[in-house]
A and B are shown apart, each in its own frame.
Chain A
């Protein structure tokens, strides 16, 4: 009995440093924020109780509604896309290929690079005369050449495989040895076509797609709650790019635990790669999928930094998220801080996050995992 009690005391002692921090910076801060959300506090004058007025004002605020729409669309789309791509990438990187370590490290780079730096680089790429528009234009310009190359490649490959098969040798349509020959022939032929002037890059008008400085949405003219502002789509692309590797790593760890014998048994039963992926890989990593979905949902609902760095590069209404809305109202133009109003927004965001995660838990669990 004595030892048990002293064990408990010891446990609490070990927990104490963390508990103190938690009490001060989380419990106390949250309590204050909840209280402030019912007042008209402005940091300088003593707070007056205003009841639910701040919450009612939230839903009358056009910027808040935009922020709510943006946050929800951002969370749903980014979570779906990055979870799927992370799993695919992990499956690809789970192969036993020479130099796989290099690819794993290279693919992980975006995640350990500073989010600020990546956002700044993407800001440049999304400019009207940025890399993305330039690449699109270059692609369009060289489309005839690329098309010719592809056609020749396929033709040569088909001829070769057909030849092999006539000689009754087993050859798949993607036989690597034959593909190398086809590539060489196609490259040479395309080079000839271009130098002789038979096929030339065409003249296309410069691509002038406006990614940032626009209020347009995709799809344009869709109902308010379903339209994704184009600058927000730009942030989505960037966010997916930077977060995939983190989740890929989690999936990679999970995949290493899937017994090889499952795949071998499936292969003997005649399952192809796609069937193996759908029937073995996905069910085996289901617990990790739940974790990834939850982390991704929480992360995307609270996205702040990328909007802050985008700053004046895009109209606020097109990129504002709930987290940024809270910051924006906390330090508005030349007025004193609207702490009460901002706190109400923060509370709404907290409750929303909680509800989404709980709902998702329900949904994922009900599928039987």
Chain B
């Protein structure tokens, strides 16, 4: 018995000296397959030559709960995903390595670096990002004889176009509007409204916010827009793929879904409509890689981070139509100008990050809980259960309590 143990230990020690095993924890879904292909086709050989092997450990289900558990138990991987909306909490655990002086953040888009900066230190390197764009169903617009949405649309002209297409048939709607701040917020930002003031307080009763809520929910009340759940869909992409709606407001993540679910759907993509402030509003959604402070292989982990966020890897991810790269140098990538619907959609989403009032999908240390009162209010208004004023007053009260708790 003792002899076997010795052999096992010795093998582990010798093996450790030659090959370094780096673990990455991230989402489930399609991410494990993407990383395997990225390794096989782009960065795997290079890393293997340096004696580094990579394994990907998908955390299925509630990613944040699983990651907090792993971090606390000391079983977290060397590198893990940090979703932007929960980044403050994850960084606050003290388990994420500050990258100051260890990693060059200059080649990355500034707003993405900022989303992961706490007290002047950078804790995560964005793997990619997304913004919202208007994807329109070419056939439905042609059938209705309506001009396609374009970059000059304001809220008013945009709504008129939706009305015109929705008039086609009782089963056709202008768009799906979910009762969620994760989409609606982009419209709120287009009024110049911001979720937090200098003191970290939220004002939902700001006339600008009320204007956005009224515009968004009125389209639903009018029957031009519809909640996805009311036509048996879970999200706007589902509404769009089944030709139920003329436009979808989603990010580039919808493209892969359309490729599989609606390969014959002819679509175009343009920018979000211009809001009352004269600017567009948009969200910046992103996920970063962070390094575990307790990682025994810090140097190798940094080397892996460099490779998976490197130009070669990002170029590959972009060309596969998987995500928008986080490196500024890829902005004038020839891929964006290929003219295919997917390339155009990717370009619009990429440029959306620097066009108008763009805010990160982040709510300080309150996290996604911040959205709950707002979402409840949107539902109540859309379904006609309460007026805008009543709902927002109640939401404001709930939100004040939430902010108070988090302080």
Contact = CB atoms under 8 A, between A and B. Distances in A.
A333 interface: yes
Interface stretch (B60-68, B250-258, B300-308): B60-68
A215 B376 contact: yes
Given A213-B179, A213-B383, A335 B230 contact: no
Chain A: interface secondary structure?
A: loop
A313 interface: yes
Given A128-B229, A213-B383, A335 B376 contact: no
A136 interface: no
Contacts of B68: 43, 331, 336-337
A15 B123 CA distance: 50
A216 B89 contact: no
A28 interface: no
A214 B367 contact: no
B65 A331 contact: yes
A334 B232 contact: no
B156 interface: no
A127 B86 contact: no
A304 B284 CA distance: 33
A215 B385 contact: yes
Contacts of B231: 129
Contacts of A333: 86, 89, 363, 365-370, 406
A72 B88 CA distance: 36
B294 to A, nearest CB: 12
Given A44-B94, A127-B230, A127-B232, A335 B367 contact: yes
B136 to A, nearest CB: 25
Nearest to A339: B72
Nearest to B386: A215
A316 interface: yes
A334 B368 contact: yes
Interface in B220-250: 227, 229-232
Chain B: interface secondary structure?
A: helix
B364 interface: yes
A210 B385 contact: yes
Contacts of A335: 88-89, 92, 365-367, 406
B138 interface: no
A312 B72 CA distance: 27
A334 B362 CA distance: 9
Nearest to B378: A213
Interface residues of A, number: 26
Contacts of A337: 68, 72
Interface string A309-324: 0001101110000000
Given A213-B179, A334-B85, A334-B87, A312 B375 contact: yes
B365 A334 contact: yes
B59 to A, nearest CB: 13
B376 A334 contact: no
B contact residues, range = 35 or more
A336 B72 CA distance: 10
A332 B90 CA distance: 11
B401 interface: yes
Contact of A334 (B86, B380, B383, B385): B86
Contacts of A62: 398, 401
B379 interface: yes
B69 to A, nearest CB: 8
A103 interface: no
A225 interface: no
Contacts of A210: 383, 385
Interface in A202-224: 210, 212-216
Interface string B33-58: 00000000000000000000000000
Contacts, number: 89
Contacts of B364: 334
Nearest to B88: A334
Nearest to A337: B68
A312 B375 CA distance: 9
Nearest to A333: B367
Contacts of B64: 331
Contacts of B90: 334
Given A62-B401, A214-B383, A337-B68, A129 B365 contact: no
Contacts of A334: 85-90, 362-369
B95 interface: yes
Interface string B369-400: 11010011001100101000000000000100
A330 B375 CA distance: 22
Contacts of A128: 229-230, 383
B232 A129 contact: yes
B385 A129 contact: no
Contacts of B227: 213
B93 interface: yes
A35 B16 CA distance: 40
A212 to B, nearest CB: 8
A49 interface: no
A124 interface: yes
Contacts of B85: 334
Nearest to B230: A128
Contacts of B180: 312
A366 B88 CA distance: 56
Contacts of A336: 68, 89, 92-93
Which residue, of A214, A334, A335, has the highest number of chain B Cβ atoms within 10 A?
Answer: A334
Nearest to A327: B65
Nearest to B394: A215
Contacts of A129: 230-232
Nearest to B375: A312
Contacts of A44: 71-72, 93-95
Nearest to A123: B229
Nearest to A128: B230
Nearest to B385: A214
A333 B367 CA distance: 4
Q: Which 3 A-B pairs have the closest CB atoms?
A: A333-B367, A334-B367, A333-B369
23 contacts: A44-B95, A127-B229, A127-B232, A210-B383, A213-B179, A214-B383, A215-B376, A216-B385, A312-B180, A312-B375, A313-B229, A315-B372, A331-B62, A333-B86, A333-B363, A334-B363, A334-B367, A334-B368, A335-B92, A335-B366, A335-B367, A336-B92, A337-B68
